[in-house]
Amino acid sequence: MTKFENVEVEIAGNSYFDGAVTSRTVNFADGSKKTLGFMLPGEYEFGTAAAELMEITSGELDVKLPGSDAWVSIKGGESFSVPADSKFQVKVRSVTDYCCSYL
């Protein structure tokens, strides 16, 4: 999917790690939400309350998911899932755009 239709976008953005990671929340008519954002190169750790599907639309990163010691390379067009109530780490190798769906 390259665009969303009939949605509401929250004007206030989310900013993390001194602005190196930012996102905007998109609300859908069915009550679901997604965030669209980007990450600058660097290493970050995120915590999740809900399960997430992270779709990488462009860029490259390595991710270490909960319960694993292995880093997995992800590039534009690929995705990964994160369980609820967990933490995951990323090493962003180039400016990376993403779409995060809350499951």
pLDDT beyond 90 at 2: no
- Average pLDDT value for residue range 59-72: 96
For residue range 5-55, list pLDDT tens digits in order. 899 999 999 999 999 999 999 999 999 999 999 999 999 999 999 999 999
- Arithmetic mean of pLDDT over the chain: 95
Separation of alpha carbons 25 and 101, rounded Å: 10
- pTM to 2 decimals? 0.91
Domains of the chain: 7-102 (2.60.120.10)
pLDDT (0 to 100) of residue 1: 61
Distance of CA 82 to the CA centre of its chain: 10
Residues 6+ apart with CB under 8 A from 90: 39, 43, 44, 45, 46, 61, 62, 63, 64
- Tracing tokens 């969303």 back to the chain, one arrives at 4
- Tracing tokens 């905007």 back to the chain, one arrives at 24
